[in-house]
Homo-oligomer: A and B are copies of this chain.
Amino acid sequence: MDADLRQKIYEYIEKKGLRKTVQREAIIQAAFSTVEHYTAEELIAMAQRIEPSVSRATVYRTLPLLVESGQLREIDLGKDHKTYDPNFVNRPHHNHLICTDCQKVVEFEDHYMETLEDCISKRLGFSPTSKSVRIEATCDKLKKFGACENKHG
């Protein structure tokens, strides 16, 4: 886990007058031990592997902290649950493309979109704080070869 990231989180926790607990420690450890997206439920499992006393409630209470601190991003992939993305610290401007064939999520960066976002917001009289771009798309491989990497069945 990135030392700088850890420091930023603890700075945030301290600034807020919050406390350092073994459960939080484990959740933070787990939250940034991967570059994969995960759900709250998955994070519970990951954190419990580090510290079995971590409960569902504490994870659900800690997730908003990590998001507020700016180190973790909550993204919407069109599912009925929230998804968390630990990669925004390293790549703050990336977006997501979701394959409608295999549900795979591909991250991509595009700097024109940043510029556009600024233009649009200014044109409308706003200052952008965050954006989310989600593109759903079909896999060209599937169409050509009848197969898609992750496609089941």
Contacts and interface: CB of A to CB of B under 8 A. Distances in A.
A120 B108 CA distance: 8
Contacts of A22: none
Contact of A136 (B78, B123, B129): B129
A131 B131 contact: no
Nearest to A138: B127
A131 to B, nearest CB: 4
Q: How many copies of this chain does the complex contain? A: 2
A133 B135 CA distance: 8
Contacts of A76: 76, 78
A121 interface: yes
Contacts of A100: 129
Nearest 7 A/B pairs, CB to CB? A126-B137, A131-B135, A128-B137, A130-B136, A132-B134, A125-B140, A133-B133
A126 B97 contact: yes
B141 A136 contact: no
A128 B120 contact: no
